[in-house]
Amino acid sequence: MEQVSDDTLASARKVIAVHINYPSRAAQRGRTPAQPSYFLKPSSSLALTGSPVERPAGCELLGFEGEIALVIGKNARRVSVEDAWSHVAAVTASNDLGVYDLRYADKGSNLRSKGGDGFTPVGPALIPADAVDPARLRIRTWHNGELVQDDTTEDLLFPFARLVADLSQLLTLQEGDIILTGTPAGASVAQPGDVLEVEVTTLDGALGTGRLATTVEEGTTPFADFGAGPKADDLQREEAYGSREAAGLPAAGLDPALKAKLESVATATLSSQLRKRGLNNVSIDGLQATRPDRRVVGLARTLRYVPNREDLFKTHGGGFNAQKRAIDSVNEGEILVMEARGEKGTGTVGDILALRAQVRGAAAIITDGGVRDYAAVAGLDMPTYFANPHPAVLGRRHVPWDTDITIACGGATVQPGDIIVADSDGILVIPPAIAEELVDDCIRQEKEETFIFEMVKQGNSVDGLYPMNAQWQQRYADWEAGTDGD
């Protein structure tokens, strides 16, 4: 078989990559797209087997993704799905490398994070497209000799011919262009000194590319201060490694013991203890609940809407916008809190997205705006806290703008990771750093109030009892110890 050569790389005017295409990867990411979506990688990112790749200085998250690459054999423009495969000359192995440390700077383009020199090795051999069934190929990736990715093309979300036909609707695929067709589950992070290998074969093993080998090296030239520099956080570590566990991060969500304590005390008690600590503006006010009988405790995820401006809604309101991203990424036990500026003249969430949040395991949705499809939302098991029902769609008053940032909701500031506690008395925002001490004091306070309630019930005056003076404090200590004779 023909080998991938410098001429192969030189003939590629475009390198186009698909975001999600394998069901295993979709399950890992928590969303299954209805249509394929793409991004461009520069042809200068192409490299041959055996070429080293540099993890840029200051970066920690060089992600690898074994993929099957299609090499276009003849120009394709507005071709049908049935004819599309005839425009593919060959398939080969590829590795879609990228640094998650720079994703924040790309605004979705992936240029800086995935466009570096050597970030798209391909090869070593080309398998003729007319010699294979594109639905019967196998892709495998090894990380330092350990098999970490192993999947087939039998149940792709978007078969290869569909990708070619779809792309050709708007642009001409030219001879030599390369399409990266997505990666299965198992992609992770490589360190300097690691060896990555990717191989594509037919299911019967009769034809194969051989192993595409790439060695990772540590970069030594730091980024200049006139551009975006590398920046990693736990969210990017989780994305890069594929899970929090794989990234060595603690499990998401509240500590179960802390959660149980918070569920045991009333928001009125929590509010009292927060006030003792000088926190007076930590209640989300003016909302009603679809399930007022429920008590909810969870970590905040945030979504911000800005006032509608028609040109901005065109660029930010459609597609997989911030609202849908927030709904589709909320995790088990989390609470999605929306900043709608108290605007009651439109809906900020409806039945479909609320159902999606419930399916994702969200503990609740909180918005200081309106809710559409109220009857259906109220019928869900998951509580929603909202200002009022309203039939209008989002675009009447709002543009979904950003997620996981500091927001304002119902007069309170909410940050991602804040603890939200809601019951029939109201909704509180608790800084996580003080939660353990706070709830322990609440438990003590409620025990004291149980004693006071019992004493009042027995006919005692509240004078000196509420709050307790020294005499009543001693009585309480005896009562707590079980030695009170009264």
218 by DSSP, 3-state: which? strand
325: CB partners within 8 A, 6+ apart: 403
* Distance from C-alpha of 11 to C-alpha of 8, rounded to nearest angstrom: 5
- Give yes or no for a contact between 77 and 172, defined as CB atoms under 8 angstroms apart: yes
CA 178 from centre of chain: 28
Give the per-residue pLDDT at 485. 54
What amino acid is encoded at 404 in this protein? D
Tokens describing residue 141: 């990736």
Q: For 94, what's the count of Cα atoms within 13 Å in the CB-facing half-sphere?
A: 29
Torsion angle (degrees, nearest 10) of CA 25, 28, 34, 40: -50
Q: Which residue has the tokens 């800086």?
A: 112
Tell me: pLDDT of 486 over 80.
no
Q: For 116, what's the count of Cα atoms within 13 Å in the CB-facing half-sphere?
A: 25
Tell me: pLDDT of 33 over 90.
no
Please give the span between the terminal C-alpha atoms of the chain, in angstroms, as a whole number.
95
> Average pLDDT for residues 411-432, to the nearest whole number?
94
Measured CA distances, 209 to 1, 10, 194 (Å): 9, 20, 21
Query: Which domains occur in the chain, in start order?
Result: 6-241 (3.90.850.10), 282-430 (3.50.30.40), 440-481 (no CATH)
Give the per-residue pLDDT at 28. 80
Q: Which of 234-243, 358-367, 383-392, 475-484 has the lowest mean pLDDT?
A: 475-484
Strand 283-284 relative to strand 426-430: parallel, antiparallel, unpaired? antiparallel
* Distance from C-alpha of 431 to C-alpha of 162, rounded to nearest angstrom: 49
Tell me: pLDDT of 301 over 60.
yes
> Average pLDDT for residues 221-225, to the nearest whole number?
94
Tokens describing residue 19: 């975001």
Q: What's the alpha-carbon Rg for the chain, to the nearest Å?
A: 28
Give the per-residue pLDDT at 194. 98
Confidence band, pLDDT 50/70/90 cuts, at residue 252: low
pLDDT in tens, 310-348: 999 998 988 889 999 899 889 889 999 999 999 999 999
Mean pLDDT of the chain: 94
Give the count of beta carbons closer than 10 Å to the beta carbon of residue 169.
9
Give the per-residue pLDDT at 480. 84
* Distance from C-alpha of 9 to C-alpha of 398, rounded to nearest angstrom: 46
What amino acid is encoded at 50 in this protein? G
> Average pLDDT for residues 93-111, to the nearest whole number?
93
* Distance from C-alpha of 388 to C-alpha of 343, rounded to nearest angstrom: 10
69: CB partners within 8 A, 6+ apart: 91, 92, 93, 94, 122, 178, 179, 180, 181
What pTM, to 2 d.p., does this model score? 0.63
Measured CA distances, 337 to 59, 233, 263, 378, 427 (Å): 32, 21, 19, 17, 11
Confidence band, pLDDT 50/70/90 cuts, at residue 201: very high
